[in-house]
Chains A and B, each alone.
Chain A
Amino acid sequence: MTDPLIEVSGVTFAYPLPGGGRTIALSDVSMSIREGEFLAVIGHNGSGKSTLAKLFNGLLIPGRGEVRVAGMSTRDTSLHRAIRQVVGVVFQDPEDQIVATLVEEDVAFGPENLGLPRDEVRRRVEASLAAVEVEELRLRPPHQLSGGQKQRVAIAGVLAMQPRCVVLDESTAMLDPEGRREVLAVTRRLHRAGTTIVLVTHFMSEAALAERTVVLSEGRIELDGPPREVFGKRDRLRELDLDVPPVTALAERGRAAGVEIRGLPLTIDEFVSALP
């Protein structure tokens, strides 16, 4: 058994409040992520999921407990450069993440900052643009792109650092349906190519695509398992005021009406073939 890529042990994190005092975002959370895993994190706003995402690469440091990335503790700020080469984060609003005036310059920004030789920067930019299928946009100013294109450029910027893990923190929330489809397709392709994926999302249908779903509520991990197992715990989810994917809910109603439905369908395709 290999060591986990990310190991979170006994982490508590609190934000200071403007008027004094603190608000607890995560309390005593432990989890580990294996290399190559595709993990979805779901929960309401304020459940702690974005805080967790920011702990994965040292953007936030736990108040108590420890986060280790490929064996390196995020507490040691001298390791942050190395840690951020292992774990890259893509945020919700692509506008916040794009720095340069041309797409290819934006993607080159990270590797150039690493002080890599020109040829290596070139090679990485090519590969990253190809991975998210935006090669034809390389000489365009980012502000002219659609939301999905911008978000894919932001992902390319992260890929150019050759991370072993990509964290998408609600990266599809602001996108239109086509933009969401584009970003999800890229995510699945990266996973198939061996990259570890952490997808933080509000969309239950997106969480259903992962191999493992972690449900956070009020700063604690409430459920953790394959989506089929997690979405099968309907009563617990209802207590947490969370939904299941719409097709799963529909299958449940069919079963309640006495229809024999095979298994627990999580996607439209599964639903169609689960009907008698």
Chain B
Amino acid sequence: MSEPIVQVSGLWHWYLRGTPLQTVALQGIDLEIQSDDLAAIMGHTGSGKSTLVQHFNGLLRPHRGSVRVFGSDLSDPKLDVRPLRRRVGLVFQQPEMQLFDPTVGDDIAFGPRQLGCTPEDVRRRVRTAMERVGLGFEDFKDRYTFGLSGGEMRRVALAGVLALEPQLLVLDEPTAGLDPRGRRQLLDSLRAIHADGGMALVIVSHDMDVVGEMARRVFVLAGGKTVMRGGVREVFSRVEELRELGLGIPQVSELAYELRKAGRDVRADVLTADELAEALWTSSTSPAT
């Protein structure tokens, strides 16, 4: 059963509030995340995406409006956010910069140890987290973190958050700077983790190909407002609006759009190369849903 785990309504946030340099970051955001969601938050640099998700685990508190996460009201100044941080895992941009233990196993174990887990439970969590990101436990636990490739380091950082066994995982630009192979492996891991169940996934990205490949629902932010929302197909078929926001669309959707402009009979909501190939080269043009 899916139920709402994050409810944001009319959320405002200012930076340097009350100073002459005050700037508004969020101006009345509404958004809801379900317990089994696979959602994306997109927007240009500076659109407010990162500010928004920092409210999900209480790193930031609402200045106006409300944010409820797993039933806790973040406007309540007396709220202890520590329990929330176990349930909401935030993976920042380039999380590999935050690795600090010399070995992979110790780095991933840090969080569970801080939670006061028993040594057996720490070991179980580390093993499970490593397997979920495709790093063999025996193979990698004693490896030095600095000797890993960029893609491997990023997966270690992700495993460190997964070892906290969160119910909501938020990833900020998870593939930025990875090479094609590292990107593919990371996205495959994330898909498998979500398919295992028990965890909602929110991807914050301006990489339209990542969003098109991964998300079911999309929220588009611009200037601190939610300007578009809906199913991923519906949002990506609104090509002109997205272009105006400086966002673009996945390459396949863009190709479909150009083909339609050139007079081809291609439906507006194709998302994958498979669908486009089918739309172009088979007689049946019914959408594969």
Residues of A at the B interface (CB closer than 8 Å) are 17-19, 44-46, 92, 146-147, 170, 173-174, 176-179, 202, 204-205, 241-243, 246-247, 249-250, 253-254, 257, 259, 268-269, 271-272, 275
Q: Does B125 contact A (CB under 8 A)?
A: no
Contact of B251 among A205, A241, A242 (CB under 8 A): A205
Total contacting residues, chain B, CB less than 8 A: 35
Q: Does B119 contact A (CB under 8 A)?
A: no
When chains A and B are docked, how far (Å) is the Cα of A176 from the Cα of B206?
A: 6
Q: Does the CB pair B262–A272 fall under 8 Å?
A: yes
When chains A and B are docked, how far (Å) is the Cα of A106 from the Cα of B185?
A: 39
Q: Does the CB pair B246–A177 fall under 8 Å?
A: yes
Q: Does the CB pair B45–A176 fall under 8 Å?
A: yes
Q: Does the CB pair A272–B259 fall under 8 Å?
A: yes
> Chain B: which residue is nearest A253 at the CB level?
B277
Q: Does the CB pair B149–A272 fall under 8 Å?
A: no
Interface of chain A, main secondary structure: loop
Q: Collect the chain A residues with CB atoms within 8 Å of residue B251's CB.
A: 205, 246-247, 268
When chains A and B are docked, how far (Å) is the Cα of A259 from the Cα of B276?
A: 14
> Chain A: which residue is nearest B93 at the CB level?
A174
> Chain B: which residue is nearest A93 at the CB level?
B177
A-B residue pairs, 6 tightest by C-beta:
A178-B246, A176-B206, A177-B248, A45-B179, A44-B179, A246-B251
When chains A and B are docked, how far (Å) is the Cα of A44 from the Cα of B177?
A: 11
Q: Does the CB pair A176–B255 fall under 8 Å?
A: no
- Asked, given contacts A44-B179, A45-B150, whether A272 binds B45 with beta carbons under 8 Å apart, the answer is no
Q: Does the CB pair B147–A176 fall under 8 Å?
A: no
Q: Collect the chain A residues with CB atoms within 8 Å of residue B147's CB.
A: 17-18
> Chain B: which residue is nearest A240 at the CB level?
B181
When chains A and B are docked, how far (Å) is the Cα of A211 from the Cα of B264?
A: 30
Interface string of B238-282 (1 = CB under 8 A from A): 000000001110011011001100101000000001001100111
Q: Does the CB pair B255–A202 fall under 8 Å?
A: no
When chains A and B are docked, how far (Å) is the Cα of A89 from the Cα of B246?
A: 27
When chains A and B are docked, how far (Å) is the Cα of A170 from the Cα of B150?
A: 14
Q: Collect the chain B residues with CB atoms within 8 Å of residue A269's CB.
A: 258
Q: Does B10 contact A (CB under 8 A)?
A: no
Q: Does the CB pair A177–B206 fall under 8 Å?
A: yes
When chains A and B are docked, how far (Å) is the Cα of A256 from the Cα of B101?
A: 50
Q: Does B192 contact A (CB under 8 A)?
A: no
When chains A and B are docked, how far (Å) is the Cα of A275 from the Cα of B266?
A: 13
- Asked, given contacts A177-B206, A250-B255, A272-B258, whether A44 binds B273 with beta carbons under 8 Å apart, the answer is no
Q: Does the CB pair A241–B247 fall under 8 Å?
A: no
When chains A and B are docked, how far (Å) is the Cα of A174 from the Cα of B207?
A: 10
Within the complex, what minimum Cβ distance (angstroms) separates B285 from chain A? 15
Within the complex, what minimum Cβ distance (angstroms) separates A112 from chain B? 30
Q: Collect the chain A residues with CB atoms within 8 Å of residue B258's CB.
A: 268-269, 271-272
Q: Does the CB pair B273–A146 fall under 8 Å?
A: no
Q: Does B198 contact A (CB under 8 A)?
A: no
Q: Does the CB pair B206–A246 fall under 8 Å?
A: no
**16 A-B contact pairs sorted by A residue (CB < 8 Å):** A44-B181, A45-B151, A146-B46, A173-B176, A174-B177, A176-B45, A241-B181, A246-B251, A249-B273, A250-B255, A250-B276, A253-B273, A253-B281, A259-B281, A268-B251, A268-B254
Within the complex, what minimum Cβ distance (angstroms) separates A70 from chain B? 31
When chains A and B are docked, how far (Å) is the Cα of A259 from the Cα of B151?
A: 38
Within the complex, what minimum Cβ distance (angstroms) separates B227 from chain A? 16
- Asked, given contacts A202-B179, A243-B180, whether A254 binds B150 with beta carbons under 8 Å apart, the answer is no
When chains A and B are docked, how far (Å) is the Cα of A159 from the Cα of B251?
A: 31
Within the complex, what minimum Cβ distance (angstroms) separates A76 from chain B? 33
Q: Collect the chain A residues with CB atoms within 8 Å of residue B150's CB.
A: 45
Q: Does B100 contact A (CB under 8 A)?
A: no
Q: Does the CB pair B246–A176 fall under 8 Å?
A: yes
Q: Collect the chain A residues with CB atoms within 8 Å of residue B259's CB.
A: 272, 275
Contact of A179 among B45, B180, B254, B255 (CB under 8 A): B45
Within the complex, what minimum Cβ distance (angstroms) separates A78 from chain B? 34
Q: Does the CB pair A250–B262 fall under 8 Å?
A: no
When chains A and B are docked, how far (Å) is the Cα of A273 from the Cα of B98?
A: 48
Interface string of B135-177 (1 = CB under 8 A from A): 0000000001011011100000000000000000000000011
Q: Collect the chain A residues with CB atoms within 8 Å of residue B149's CB.
A: 45-46
Q: Does the CB pair A257–B277 fall under 8 Å?
A: yes
Q: Collect the chain B residues with CB atoms within 8 Å of residue A18's CB.
A: 144, 146-147
Q: Collect the chain B residues with CB atoms within 8 Å of residue A275's CB.
A: 259, 264, 280
Contact of A176 among B44, B264, B273 (CB under 8 A): B44
Residues 173-204 of B at the A interface (beta carbon under 8 Å): 176-182
Q: Does B99 contact A (CB under 8 A)?
A: no
Residues 79-134 of B at the A interface (beta carbon under 8 Å): none
> Chain B: which residue is nearest A43 at the CB level?
B179
When chains A and B are docked, how far (Å) is the Cα of A17 from the Cα of B259?
A: 51
Q: Collect the chain A residues with CB atoms within 8 Å of residue B208's CB.
A: 177
When chains A and B are docked, how far (Å) is the Cα of A253 from the Cα of B281?
A: 9
> Chain A: which residue is nearest B182 at the CB level?
A45
When chains A and B are docked, how far (Å) is the Cα of A259 from the Cα of B146?
A: 49
Within the complex, what minimum Cβ distance (angstroms) separates A143 from chain B? 12
Q: Does the CB pair A271–B255 fall under 8 Å?
A: yes
Q: Does the CB pair B45–A146 fall under 8 Å?
A: yes
When chains A and B are docked, how far (Å) is the Cα of A272 from the Cα of B181?
A: 28
